[in-house]
Copies of this chain bind each other. A is one copy, B any other.
Amino acid sequence: MAGDGTDQRALQYEQTLMYGRYTQELGVYAREEAARLREERGFKRSISERTRSLELLQYDQGRCAKCRICILQCQKLLISRIGEDWIFLILLGLVMALVSWAMDFCIAVCLQAQKWMYGGLESNIFLQYLAWVTYPVVLISFSAGFTHIVAPQAAGSGIPEMKTILRGVVLKEYLTLKTFVAKVVGLTCALGSGMPLGKEGPFVHVASLCAALLSKFMSLFGGIYENTDENKSRNIEMLAAACAVGVGCCFAAPIGGVLFSIEVTSTFFAVRNYWRGFFAATFSAFIFRVLAVWNRDEETITALFKTRFRLDFPFDLQELPAFAVIGIASGFGGALFVYLNRLIVQFIRKQKTINKFLMKKRLLYPALVTLLISTLTFPPGFGQFMAGKLTQKESLVTLLDNRTWAKQGIAEEFDYIGHSHEWKHPQLNVFITLVIFIVMKFWMSALATTIPVPCGAFMPVFVIGAAFGRLVGESMAAWFPDGIHSDGMIYHIVPGGYAVVGAAALSGAVTHTVSTAVIVFELTGQISHILPIMIAVILANAVAQSLQPSIYDSIIRIKKLPYLPELGWGHQEKYNIRVEDIMVRDVGYVTLNCTYRQLHDALMSGHLKTFALVESAESMILLGSIERSQLQALLTQQLGRQRRLEFLRERALSEKKQVNEDGGQKINQEVRFQISTEESSFSPPRTLSPKPLKPALKRPSERSTEIPTSPQDSGIALKNLFCAHPGTEGMEEEPYGEDDMTMREIAEWEEQQLDEQVNFNNCKIDPAPFQLVERTSLHKTHTIFSLLGLDHAYVTSIGRLIGVVSLKELRKAIEGSVTVKGVKVRPPLASFRDSGTSSSETEATEIHKLWDLHTSLSIPREHHPSDSDDKSH
């Protein structure tokens, strides 16, 4: 972790290099980079020397030397090949399969332990309750604590962050070894507690972490991707493949995994990555299932939740309306789930007293929630009405069972199989058990997923969907006891099929994906219900998408991650908005022949991250763009202490020259001194070189430390620039230290310096910022921004700069707050959606302001949301 600092700088450097930016600053960065490379090469050399010495050793031994040389050559080949994509993907698949399997094993052991404890204490119901409740509370508290201490970034699903990262935003701390450890350990404990949490979302994150670490590890061997610019684009491709692996090895669903990860994380997808995803996910799923066979859990490779529905007549055509009903109801349910989840987070945040209290005792909230949920599922208590004894996996297996539970009162019949009898309560109907289960699990899942531990919402929702489907199926079976088909043959209705449809529909509605259908096929190993499932999933999506954002987009909003929202499906009004309607006409620019004073004024005037460089204020021909930090560096260099000292020395020198006209060999010494000053005058840009913004969203007081030049170094004008409150403290106190200038002299000198013309030679200029024209539509602008991962684009008219559009304007326009041509442009059902988010609107803008302030002072596109805070408060 020693080279992390330079590494981060390198990554940001790439960031600014994105889409071919060219630097002319050959000074500081190049040197650092060279040093880093030298170090790395040294490491590589030591490796290769070791192998060479080994080789010599082998050669000396005589005997079966040929054989050994052969082995060594193979080894060499292997090392040279180790950087190749397919080896990387195989390794990734293998590692993830092992991780997934080991984690499943641990989770199973944990759950077994709870059951064993519960069973052992059957004599005393109070002790039994204590054991039942304490166990998950301890596990969840440990998980929350461990995550918080090791890496707060590991909490939550991880899919929203991956989505943001794949959009091109650097969220560096989300891809470290610490986060990996925290995520894996935290997730195992959280799932082992038996809470209604899922493994799938976090697994996407774990796989990405794994890919990032593996990539770092392998870069020690292969020297193929030495160029950092390419390394970046390759990393993104590998992360996309890793997301597929995550879902693939979690559900043993390679195809569904690839599709789900595409739908969930990407806006535009490169088909060549698709291949990578398929390759890695298949390998991973294969190993995952083979491990189960080797462990004697299974006889051969089969689906995770295998169903055994009849093949000849899976369903009747007349059952389709029922499936459609499931789809539509799931759509509403999914939207409600997302809404409820967000409501809980916002409620917890808003209640200031609760908030403060919880902030002090970070583990209290998880413990309380766990206590509540486990109390309600206590089997001899309320849990008996909702099959509380069953784990999530067992519930799913029973729900997908192909027998009918409610055959006109003969519900007793099914007590011979595995766990299905849990659904049968002596006093209650199966229907009522199911309804209780659905209602209770629904809010429990929505609540549980707000705990700041690594957890996903997919699996709980999947189970709830299955229960809902089973409920509809059982009702249908009770309604048509002999099936619907009228042509002689009797085909009974299969409620298990309805459960499959319900599971796919509800999880599709919550995540806004269609590929849950494919995941369901792969999970159950049967594809016979393909059309009902597809229809239900599509209907559920249509309903849910018009009501609420997906659970991941909702989290992105809650966490305020810098992500561009999607254009809705079929909102044609988007086609009528043009760039000229949303662009900011007052562009911050600097001219090629401007003075430092103008530069200073431009920097003082706003918080822009980048400035346009135009030929002159009259022609306004766009030449490129310059980052704020670069301009600040220029100004610092011009007004900095070094130059002032230099000026002083020069003045002194010329004075001395006049004085020492007669006597002196001192001149020689002076000259040498002068040279050394010149050298040191080269360093100021170094201190200003890009440095990642720390996760300090909530700590505005840290802002001043972000500025690398201390006020003492910077003089008056710079002080104005860098300090929020220029004030007068220290202005008169000391005559600026060692140099013999008074305040007045300094001011004079600065005035003089500010009137000089700016020399852009040592400045990093992006010569090809992206350009749009006034008539470009919002739709096209969105496409281009998503495609290229842009941050802002200039609007030009035949080379002349006339405006600028940034992500912010675009986001505003898409979210419908721009009025165009008298019509308020809004998505059809946005009002309902707004009511959900408006409560946090005020704090949102405040935090946004803060963020803008921050990013304006630092490097663009570097963002570290303090999500752990968001979650635990």
Contact string against B for A residues 10-29, beta-carbon threshold 8 Å, 1 for contact and 0 otherwise: 00000000011110000000
> Is B624 in contact with A274, judged by CB distance below 8 angstroms?
no
In the complex, whether A282 has a CB less than 8 A from a CB of chain B is yes
User: In the complex, what residue of chain B is closest to A769 when comparing beta carbons?
Assistant: B771
| Distance from A108 Cβ to chain B, minimum over Cβ atoms (Å) | 22
> Is A570 in contact with B20, judged by CB distance below 8 angstroms?
no
In the complex, whether A530 has a CB less than 8 A from a CB of chain B is yes
> Is B255 in contact with A534, judged by CB distance below 8 angstroms?
yes
> Is A85 in contact with B767, judged by CB distance below 8 angstroms?
no
> Is A518 in contact with B255, judged by CB distance below 8 angstroms?
yes
The CA-CA distance from A19 to B263 in the complex, in Å, is 25
Known: A20-B579, A567-B272, A797-B767. A528 touches B525 (CB 8 A): yes
| Distance from A354 Cβ to chain B, minimum over Cβ atoms (Å) | 39
> Is A798 in contact with B765, judged by CB distance below 8 angstroms?
yes
Give the residues in chain B near A518, CB-CB below 8 Å.
Answer: 255, 518
User: In the complex, what residue of chain B is closest to A285 when comparing beta carbons?
Assistant: B531
| Distance from A416 Cβ to chain B, minimum over Cβ atoms (Å) | 19
> Is A514 in contact with B274, judged by CB distance below 8 angstroms?
yes
Give the residues in chain B near A796, CB-CB below 8 Å.
Answer: 767-768
> Is A772 in contact with B527, judged by CB distance below 8 angstroms?
no
> Is B233 in contact with A278, judged by CB distance below 8 angstroms?
no
Q: Which of A313, A771, A779, A800 is packed against the most chain B CB atoms within 10 Å?
A: A771
User: In the complex, what residue of chain B is closest to A87 when comparing beta carbons?
Assistant: B570
| Distance from A89 Cβ to chain B, minimum over Cβ atoms (Å) | 9
Using C-beta atoms within 8 Å of the partner chain, give the interface range for chain A: 35 or more
In the complex, whether A67 has a CB less than 8 A from a CB of chain B is no
> Is B271 in contact with A300, judged by CB distance below 8 angstroms?
no
Residue among B278, B579, B621, B624 making CB contact with A623, cutoff 8 Å: B621
Known: A255-B534, A266-B271, A570-B85. A300 touches B279 (CB 8 A): no
Q: List CB contacts (< 8 Å) of A304-333 with chain B.
A: 306, 308, 311-317
Give the residues in chain B near A624, CB-CB below 8 Å.
Answer: 798-799
User: In the complex, what residue of chain B is closest to A621 when comparing beta carbons?
Assistant: B621
User: In the complex, what residue of chain B is closest to A313 when comparing beta carbons?
Assistant: B300
In the complex, whether A749 has a CB less than 8 A from a CB of chain B is no
> Is A302 in contact with B314, judged by CB distance below 8 angstroms?
yes
Q: Which of A22, A83, A314 is packed against the most chain B CB atoms within 10 Å?
A: A22
User: In the complex, what residue of chain B is closest to A579 when comparing beta carbons?
Assistant: B20
User: In the complex, what residue of chain B is closest to A222 when comparing beta carbons?
Assistant: B572
Give the residues in chain B near A856, CB-CB below 8 Å.
Answer: none
In the complex, whether A832 has a CB less than 8 A from a CB of chain B is no
A334-342, A370-378, A780-788, A812-820 - interface stretch: A780-788
Give the residues in chain B near A290, CB-CB below 8 Å.
Answer: 317
| Distance from A326 Cβ to chain B, minimum over Cβ atoms (Å) | 15
A184-192, A224-232, A443-451, A680-688 - interface stretch: A224-232
Give the residues in chain B near A266, CB-CB below 8 Å.
Answer: 271
| Distance from A499 Cβ to chain B, minimum over Cβ atoms (Å) | 17
> Is B783 in contact with A270, judged by CB distance below 8 angstroms?
yes
User: In the complex, what residue of chain B is closest to A619 when comparing beta carbons?
Assistant: B615
| Distance from A777 Cβ to chain B, minimum over Cβ atoms (Å) | 6
| Distance from A599 Cβ to chain B, minimum over Cβ atoms (Å) | 17
Residue among B270, B566, B773, B780 making CB contact with A768, cutoff 8 Å: B773
Give the residues in chain B near A308, CB-CB below 8 Å.
Answer: 311-312
Contact string against B for A residues 575-602, beta-carbon threshold 8 Å, 1 for contact and 0 otherwise: 1100100000000000000000000000
Q: Which of A767, A771, A774, A777 is packed against the most chain B CB atoms within 10 Å?
A: A767
User: In the complex, what residue of chain B is closest to A319 when comparing beta carbons?
Assistant: B300
> Is B779 in contact with A302, judged by CB distance below 8 angstroms?
no
In the complex, whether A543 has a CB less than 8 A from a CB of chain B is no
The CA-CA distance from A317 to B230 in the complex, in Å, is 40
| Distance from A18 Cβ to chain B, minimum over Cβ atoms (Å) | 9
In the complex, whether A217 has a CB less than 8 A from a CB of chain B is no
Residue among B302, B314, B621 making CB contact with A528, cutoff 8 Å: B302
The CA-CA distance from A796 to B527 in the complex, in Å, is 54
In the complex, whether A552 has a CB less than 8 A from a CB of chain B is no
> Is B282 in contact with A301, judged by CB distance below 8 angstroms?
no
In the complex, whether A7 has a CB less than 8 A from a CB of chain B is no
In the complex, whether A644 has a CB less than 8 A from a CB of chain B is no
Give the residues in chain B near A522, CB-CB below 8 Å.
Answer: 527, 530
Residue among B263, B285, B535, B784 making CB contact with A282, cutoff 8 Å: B535
Give the residues in chain B near A622, CB-CB below 8 Å.
Answer: 799
In the complex, whether A647 has a CB less than 8 A from a CB of chain B is no
| Distance from A673 Cβ to chain B, minimum over Cβ atoms (Å) | 36
> Is A86 in contact with B767, judged by CB distance below 8 angstroms?
no
Give the residues in chain B near A286, CB-CB below 8 Å.
Answer: 531, 534-535
Contact string against B for A residues 230-254, beta-carbon threshold 8 Å, 1 for contact and 0 otherwise: 1001100000000000000000001
List 11 interface pairs A-B (beta carbons < 8 Å), by A numbering: A84-B570, A225-B575, A233-B783, A255-B518, A267-B272, A285-B531, A290-B317, A300-B313, A526-B526, A527-B527, A767-B798
Instruction: Beyond A230-B777, A767-B797, A787-B787, list 9 extra A-B contacts (CB 8 Å).
Output: A85-B570, A233-B783, A254-B530, A262-B271, A268-B270, A269-B270, A286-B531, A301-B315, A624-B799
User: Which 9 A-B residue pairings sit nearest by Cβ, starting from the closest?
Assistant: A20-B776, A768-B771, A623-B799, A85-B570, A767-B798, A22-B773, A20-B773, A282-B534, A230-B575
